[in-house]
């Protein structure tokens, strides 16, 4: 037991108490929580800043508006209904199509308009919101995920979770829904978490149900060695979300849409700790590295760049002799190196 | 230093709590264990005399802060006599006086004593002067000197000197010198006077004190002379018969000095007798009286000054902080998941009434039935608040039903489930069903079992007699609990369950 404790401490694994006390309490101003807890506000902020998000089809704020639901849904074959204040992927219904006036859910079940209305009514009454306050229901574009993830997904939409610390992305993972997670990309509920090398965007290893796995449990496809497209763009996007929300310790969930590229799905003021399991690294050394920086660049692109220099996975190191040079250059806020062109 | 402010605050809180508790234990004699009774001695002195018919005055010595005891109260039964008490040297005295008294007169003095706690008040007395060497006559003189020289050679200080001397003086087979010294001793008082006179030969200050050995149901007791010598710091008592240092157990020092115990003017044939009685009293009552005598206001603000019904409420309420602290430990240090933060504690309080096994049984029964009905309600597609209300109504109906059935079956415990916090139960059922639907049965059961475990732990702690006693009699200890809670608020180490959760980290790293 004590050995485990010592090893975990050596690896710098951040526990729940340390996350809450040393990072969230210290770097996340409570004032900023509403920005990320209310997905509607997040969406608006992002849109205003020119960051791509899934398109908003409509908002239902009061019970009475449910009567117009049919009309609202009319133009859309596929859409997602979610609570504005939901957490952990709860209360999200994904409709992938229509058959004979019924709606087909992502898990294949057919539901009627009445069922959707009841679900929205539940959302409004606060069933899925934090603390149970009355809530709003968001109806938005269904993300059609990048074909890259096709063999690695069992229903639902995989997303990429990045932990951004003081604007610098420090760790990332892909979350793959499984049969067990019922299409949700939440590790607690049985999704697979796959660690991603911050520098290259390559997947490293997977964790499922808190055990290391090599393959997706449903599709059997190996999870490591995947190269995530638009990685630099994605990393910059994550870094930009810091400017948006003002939260020092932030979880950014991004989906890769087949047609629209990376879209911000939601922001999280209390990102979970399983990302460490997925990567096989503790967060603390990286967080402390960022804390020790004298200056953190203003520009999101440079911060993403900085993350690539600082947190390249040693297991994926392509052995460039210029690493040291790049690092020092990056800390001084000067962008050098071959990767700059990709982000520019 | 990191968190200096918090640490200081916690330190101040803990110090205040512990300090007050220490004071109550040492100065007021509140026990830390739930003993509820203490021995109280009642000593009665009866002074009888024959009055001559004219004015009469009686002077009588009273105990003055007797070592080993605290005086809880005293009273005088003296009919038409006027009474004054006064200090006279090391002693206190009572003076009764009356204009005309005729025939047999009886005066009573009664004192209640409790055994003192460790902190008895030091008697401030001036250091007595060294006595002059008395003018012994021969052959007495040479016997005294020979004995004293012998004793001096075998002793180190006044204490050992006195002891050595007394042992020799009281030897069963006295030598020639001692026989001379012991010659003609009439009684115990005379013996102590003789000893004092010999000790004066070594210039040791000494005095006679009179003690009363307390025995339950004693009547017609008398005072016994005891020897005290001064070692330049304090008076040390010695048994004049054996030389053993100290007072005998349960001995009350009544007065110091050789004057007659009572003096009667205008009367004759004075007789004094003592009777003693032991009784058992509530410790807390004794402590309150002690506090009154020490002019301490602490106990005036004790919870015991509240009406009994309110007291009983606080007996329960003060256990909640213990439960809350336990929740902090089990959630933040161990990492057990529960439904609601304090739900388990409220359940644990309810278990107090039903006893543990029955409580757990009824809890599982109610939650199980409630869940089944909640799943059925789900199919009706109700709005949130009506649904919650429906669950609450169902829970109450279930409780009533369970009580009825258990009563008919003759199970007494079933009746007390009425004390289960029904709103909490309803919310638990609602949340459990949500977790069940959204995160699966495993998670729901895990949290359910976690809640039950915390509730059981809470029950075990909160029904502990010692714990319940401590928080009620020493509510200031809750400040210590608060301090610890504050400190745990900055605990950023791993939770016990995280060692398990992150075990995959290690496996891959090896």
For A218, the token pair is 């449903």
Instruction: Check whether residue A10 and residue A90 sit in a common domain.
Output: no
Confidence of residue B240 (pLDDT cuts 50, 70, 90): confident
Q: Provide the domain limits for residue B113.
A: 38-122
On whether the CB atoms of residues B262 and B60 are closer than 8 A, the answer is yes
Q: Is B503 on the interface with A (CB under 8 A)?
A: yes
Instruction: Check whether residue A196 and residue A292 sit in a common domain.
Output: yes
Calculate Rg over the CA atoms of chain B.
36
- Residue A177: CATH number of its domain: 3.30.470.20
What was the pLDDT predicted at A129? 79
Instruction: Check whether residue A339 and residue A282 sit in a common domain.
Output: yes
**A268 within a domain of the structure (yes/no):** yes
CA angle B337, B365, B354 (to 5 degrees): 90
The domain boundary residue, chosen from B73, B105, B122: B122
Tell me the ipTM for this assembly.
0.77
Domain count, chain A: 2
Q: Provide the domain limits for residue A78.
A: 55-141
**A39 within a domain of the structure (yes/no):** no
Instruction: Check whether residue A203 and residue A315 sit in a common domain.
Output: yes
Domain count, chain B: 2
**B96 within a domain of the structure (yes/no):** yes
Q: How many residues does chain B have?
A: 510
For B181, the token pair is 């010294």
Q: Is B493 on the interface with A (CB under 8 A)?
A: yes
- Residue A79: CATH number of its domain: 3.30.1490.20
**A276 within a domain of the structure (yes/no):** yes
CA distance A141 to A135: 20
Instruction: Check whether residue A135 and residue A159 sit in a common domain.
Output: no
What pLDDT, in 10s, does the model give residues A187-216? 888 899 999 999 999 998 899 988 888 899
Instruction: Check whether residue A210 and residue A254 sit in a common domain.
Output: yes
Q: To which H or E segment does residue A171 belong?
A: strand A168-176
Query: Across the interface, do B504 and A7 touch by the CB < 8 Å criterion?
Result: no
Confidence of residue B122 (pLDDT cuts 50, 70, 90): low
What was the pLDDT predicted at A111? 92
The domain boundary residue, chosen from A141, A161, A178: A141
Q: Which residue of B has its CA nearest to A277?
A: B505
On whether the CB atoms of residues B54 and B68 are closer than 8 A, the answer is no
Q: What is the DSSP-derived secondary structure letter of residue A129?
A: B
**B399 within a domain of the structure (yes/no):** yes
**A47 within a domain of the structure (yes/no):** no
**B277 within a domain of the structure (yes/no):** no
Q: Which residue of B has its CA nearest to A5?
A: B499
The domain boundary residue, chosen from B99, B122, B145: B122
What pLDDT, in 10s, does the model give residues B290-330? 777 677 777 667 777 777 778 888 888 899 999 999 999 99
How many Å lie between the alpha carbon of B423 and the closest alpha carbon of chain A? 16
**B444 within a domain of the structure (yes/no):** yes
Smallest Cβ–Cβ distance between A125 and the set B385, B443, B489 belongs to B385
**A335 within a domain of the structure (yes/no):** yes
Confidence of residue B448 (pLDDT cuts 50, 70, 90): very high
Instruction: Check whether residue A173 and residue A129 sit in a common domain.
Output: no
**B236 within a domain of the structure (yes/no):** no
Query: pLDDT of chain A along its 344 residues, tens only?
Result: 788 888 889 899 999 999 998 999 999 998 988 888 899 999 999 999 999 999 999 999 998 999 899 899 989 999 999 999 987 778 889 898 998 889 998 878 899 998 999 899 889 888 887 667 889 999 999 998 888 888 888 888 899 999 999 999 999 999 998 888 877 888 888 899 999 999 999 998 899 988 888 899 888 899 998 899 889 999 999 999 999 989 999 999 999 999 888 999 999 999 989 999 999 889 999 999 999 999 999 999 999 999 999 998 776 654 443 444 444 433 433 333 333 333 33
Q: Which chain B residues contact residue A15 at CB under 8 A?
A: 492-495, 498, 502
**B71 within a domain of the structure (yes/no):** yes
Sheet strand arrangement including B235-238: B235-238, B224-230, B206-213, B251-256
Instruction: Check whether residue A175 and residue A97 sit in a common domain.
Output: no
What pLDDT, in 10s, does the model give residues B80-107? 888 888 887 778 888 888 888 888 888 8
- Residue labelled with tokens 């420090």: A170
**A338 within a domain of the structure (yes/no):** yes
Interface test with A, best of B384, B440, B442 (most A CBs within 10 A): B384
What was the pLDDT predicted at B443? 83
Q: Is B2 on the interface with A (CB under 8 A)?
A: no
- Residue B118: CATH number of its domain: 2.60.40
**B353 within a domain of the structure (yes/no):** yes
Instruction: Check whether residue A301 and residue A318 sit in a common domain.
Output: yes
On whether the CB atoms of residues A239 and A217 are closer than 8 A, the answer is no
The domain boundary residue, chosen from B104, B122, B140: B122
What was the pLDDT predicted at B373? 92
What was the pLDDT predicted at B123? 56
**A48 within a domain of the structure (yes/no):** no
Average pLDDT value for residue range B365-379: 90
**A45 within a domain of the structure (yes/no):** no
Q: Is B232 on the interface with A (CB under 8 A)?
A: no
On whether the CB atoms of residues A39 and A86 are closer than 8 A, the answer is yes
Q: To which H or E segment does residue B112 belong?
A: strand B102-115
The domain boundary residue, chosen from A141, A161, A185: A141
**3-state secondary structure at position B466:** helix
pLDDT, averaged across chain B: 84
Q: Which chain B residues contact residue A13 at CB under 8 A?
A: 494, 502, 505
What was the pLDDT predicted at B124? 55
Instruction: Check whether residue A102 and residue A190 sit in a common domain.
Output: no
What was the pLDDT predicted at A235? 93
Average pLDDT value for residue range B42-50: 88
Confidence of residue B370 (pLDDT cuts 50, 70, 90): very high
Instruction: Check whether residue A133 and residue A256 sit in a common domain.
Output: no
Smallest Cβ–Cβ distance between A212 and the set B381, B384, B508 belongs to B508
In this predicted structure, the answer to whether residue B120 has a pLDDT above a threshold of 60 is no
CA distance A213 to A225: 13
Phi/psi of residue A128, each to 5°? -105, 0
What pLDDT, in 10s, does the model give residues B394-438? 999 998 998 888 888 887 777 777 778 888 888 889 888 888 877
Q: Which chain A residues contact residue B335 at CB under 8 A?
A: 16
Three-class DSSP labels, B451-485: HHHHHHHHHHHHCCHHHHHHHHHCCCHHHHHHHHH
What was the pLDDT predicted at A182? 77
**B51 within a domain of the structure (yes/no):** yes
Instruction: Check whether residue A203 and residue A253 sit in a common domain.
Output: yes
Task: For chain B, count helices (H), then strands (E).
Answer: 16, 13
The domain boundary residue, chosen from A141, A169, A190: A141
């Amino acid at each position: 037991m004590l050995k485990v404790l010592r090893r975990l401490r050596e690896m710098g694994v951040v526990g729940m108490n340390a996350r809450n006390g040393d990072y969230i309490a210290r770097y996340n101003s409570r004032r900023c929580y509403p920005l990320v807890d209310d997905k509607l506000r997040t969406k608006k902020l992002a849109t205003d800043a020119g960051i791509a998000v899934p398109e908003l089809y409509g908002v239902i704020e009061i019970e009475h508006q449910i009567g117009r639901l049919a009309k609202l849904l009319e133009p859309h074959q596929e859409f997602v209904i979610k609570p504005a204040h939901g957490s952990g992927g709860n209360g999200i219904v994904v409709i992938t199509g229509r058959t004979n006036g019924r709606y087909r859910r992502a898990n294949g079940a057919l539901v009627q308009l009445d069922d959707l209305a009841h679900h929205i009514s539940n959302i409004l009454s606060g069933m899925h919101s934090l603390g149970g306050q009355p809530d709003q229901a968001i109806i938005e574009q269904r993300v059609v995920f990048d074909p890259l993830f096709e063999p690695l997904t069992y229903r639902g939409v995989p997303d990429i979770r990045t932990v951004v610390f003081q604007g610098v992305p420090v760790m990332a993972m892909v979350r793959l829904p499984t049969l067990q997670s019922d299409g949700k990309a939440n590790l607690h509920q049985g999704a697979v978490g796959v660690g991603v090398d911050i520098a290259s965007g390559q997947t490293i290893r997977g964790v499922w149900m808190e055990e290391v796995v090599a393959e997706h449990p449903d599709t059997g496809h190996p999870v490591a060695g995947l190269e995530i497209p638009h990685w630099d763009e994605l990393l910059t996007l994550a870094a930009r979300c810091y400017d948006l929300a003002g939260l020092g310790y932030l979880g950014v969930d991004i989906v890769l849409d087949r047609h629209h590229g990376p879209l911000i799905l939601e922001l999280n003021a209390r990102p979970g700790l399983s990302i460490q399991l997925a990567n096989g690294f503790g967060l603390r050394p990286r967080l402390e590295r960022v804390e020790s920086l004298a200056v953190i660049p203003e520009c999101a692109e440079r911060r993403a760049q900085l993350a690539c220099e600082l947190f390249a996975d040693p297991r994926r190191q392509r052995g460039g002799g210029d690493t040291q040079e790049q690092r020092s250059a990056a800390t001084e806020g000067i962008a050098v190196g071959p990767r700059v062109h990709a982000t520019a | 230093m990191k968190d200096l402010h918090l640490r200081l605050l916690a330190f101040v809180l803990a110090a205040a709590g512990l300090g007050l508790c220490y004071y109550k234990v040492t100065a007021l004699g509140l026990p830390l264990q739930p003993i509820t009774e203490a021995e109280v001695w009642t000593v009665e002195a009866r002074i009888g005399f024959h009055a001559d018919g004219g004015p009469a005055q009686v002077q009588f010595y009273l105990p003055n802060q007797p070592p080993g005891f605290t005086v809880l109260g005293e009273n005088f039964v003296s009919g038409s006599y006027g009474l004054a008490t006064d200090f006279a040297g090391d002693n206190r005295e009572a003076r009764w006086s009356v204009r005309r008294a005729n025939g047999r007169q009886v005066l009573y003095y009664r004192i209640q004593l409790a055994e003192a706690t460790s902190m008895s008040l030091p008697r401030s007395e001036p250091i007595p002067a060294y006595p002059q060497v008395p003018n012994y006559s021969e052959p007495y003189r040479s016997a005294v000197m020979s004995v004293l020289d012998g004793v001096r050679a075998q002793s180190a200080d006044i204490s050992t000197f006195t002891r050595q001397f007394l042992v020799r003086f009281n030897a069963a087979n006295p030598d020639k010198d001692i026989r001379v010294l012991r010659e003609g001793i009439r009684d115990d008082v005379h013996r102590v006077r003789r000893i004092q006179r010999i000790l004066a030969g070594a210039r040791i200050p000494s005095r006679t004190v009179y003690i009363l050995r307390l025995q339950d149901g004693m009547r017609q007791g008398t005072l016994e002379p005891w020897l005290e010598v001064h070692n330049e710091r304090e008076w040390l008592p010695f048994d004049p018969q054996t030389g053993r240092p100290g007072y005998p157990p349960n001995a009350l020092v009544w007065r110091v000095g050789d004057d007659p115990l009572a003096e009667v003017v205008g009367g004759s044939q004075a007789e004094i007798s003592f009777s003693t009685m032991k009784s058992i009293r509530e410790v807390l009552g004794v402590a309150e009286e002690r506090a009154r005598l020490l002019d301490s206001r602490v106990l005036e603000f004790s919870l015991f000054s509240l009406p009994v019904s309110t007291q009983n409420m606080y007996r329960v309420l003060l256990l909640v902080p213990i439960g809350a602290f336990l929740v902090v430990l089990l959630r933040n240090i161990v990492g057990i998941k529960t439904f609601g933060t304090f739900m388990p504690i409220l359940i644990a309080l309810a278990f107090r009434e039903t006893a543990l096994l029955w409580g757990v049984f009824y809890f599982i029964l109610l939650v199980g039935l409630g869940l089944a009905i909640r799943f059925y309600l789900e199919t009706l597609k109700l709005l949130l608040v009506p649904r919650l209300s429906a669950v609450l109504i169902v829970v109450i109906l279930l409780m009533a039903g369970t009580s009825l059935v258990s009563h008919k079956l003759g199970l007494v415990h079933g009746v007390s489930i009425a004390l289960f916090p029904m709103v909490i139960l309803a919310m638990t059922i609602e949340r459990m069903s949500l977790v069940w639907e959204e995160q699966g049965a495993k998670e729901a059961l895990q949290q359910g079992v976690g809640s039950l475990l915390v509730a059981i732990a809470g029950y075990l702690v909160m029904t502990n007699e010692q714990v319940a006693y401590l928080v009620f009699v020493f509510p200031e200890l809750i400040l210590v609990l608060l301090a610890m809670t504050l400190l745990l608020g900055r605990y950023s180490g791993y939770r016990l369950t995280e060692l398990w959760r992150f075990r995959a980290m290690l496996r891959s790293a090896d």
